[in-house]
Amino acid sequence: MNAVIKTISRAAVAVAAAVAAHGAMAANATVQLDTSVISANSLTVAAIGADTYSSSTGVLTAPVASASNKVVDFGNSDGFSISLTVLFAKQTLSFTNFAYDLTTNTLFGTLTGSGSLLSGIAFTGDLLKAGTTSSTNSILTASNFGVSAGLTAYLTTAGVSTASLSSITSSIKSVSVPTAPAVPEPSTYALMGLGLVGISLIARQKRQA
């Protein structure tokens, strides 16, 4: 009987620890794409990595890898791609490795291109800078994006006009990021309590041994 109690107690501690850790990291960032721009330019959007995309709402949901008081880092291999067809050839721009700087209101990441016209694009740095920001319930929402100075300089050197990519960059309507750690759900607290009970039982068993 004691062995059974000990086994259950240890299992409760392990489960509680795992769920508590998951609950503490449970946070998402979202990128709102302008569906009217996407439709008008016959663009095709697809999520990359662990992100999900809803074509009906134009919302890309991205798990947050880490957050500080200055930078919110999305999953490094996540993001989305935007494709279009030019002269019967598919051209794709992929946005990955997102991070949002809360101090400068700048969206950083990696921009890569594929296809006969865009294959030369390979940039990592500041992508877009927000013109407007607002904050509600520890969620910062940035909008009115413009092409950043870093990306503009890169495209100019590469001989690519920012105007030629305006339909793609303007499709990013807003970005919303958490500015505070996620609050664990009630179920997480319950399992943490179960874990404490398990710890107490194990300690009691050791004292009686």
Degrees to nearest 5, angle at CA 85 with 54 and 47 = 25
Cα separation, 93 vs 83, in Å, equals 6
> Which H/E stretch holds residue 60?
strand 59-67
CA-nearest of 63, 61, 5, 7 to 31 is 61
Indicate the residue type of 65.
A
Instruction: Look at the alpha carbons of 191, 196, 12, 2 in this order and tell me if their dihedral is positive or negative.
Output: negative
**Alpha carbon distance 55, 44 (integer Å):** 9
Helices of type H across 71-181: 149-157, 166-169
Cα–Cα distance measured from residue 159 to residue 106, given in angstroms and rounded to the nearest whole number? 23
What span, in angstroms and rounded, lies between the C-alpha atoms of 181 and 138?
9
Q: What are 64's strand-pairing partners?
A: 74
3-class DSSP assignment, residue 201 = helix
Beta-bridge partner residues of 82: 45, 93
User: How far apart are the C-alpha atoms of 194 and 12, rounded to whole Å?
Assistant: 6
Which pLDDT belongs to residue 200? 54
At residue 40, what are phi and psi to the nearest 5 degrees? -65, -30
- Residue 113, classed as helix, strand or coil, is strand
- From first to last of its 209 residues, what are the pLDDT tens digits of the chain? 545 444 444 444 444 444 444 444 448 999 999 999 899 988 899 999 999 999 999 999 999 998 888 999 998 789 999 998 887 889 899 999 999 999 999 999 999 999 988 888 999 999 999 999 999 988 999 999 999 999 999 988 988 777 767 777 788 999 999 986 544 444 444 444 444 444 554 455 555 55
CA-based torsion, 130, 99, 22, 204: positive or negative: negative
Task: In whole angstroms, give the CA distance from residue 196 to residue 20.
Answer: 12
Where are the domains positioned within the chain?
2-21+185-208, 28-178
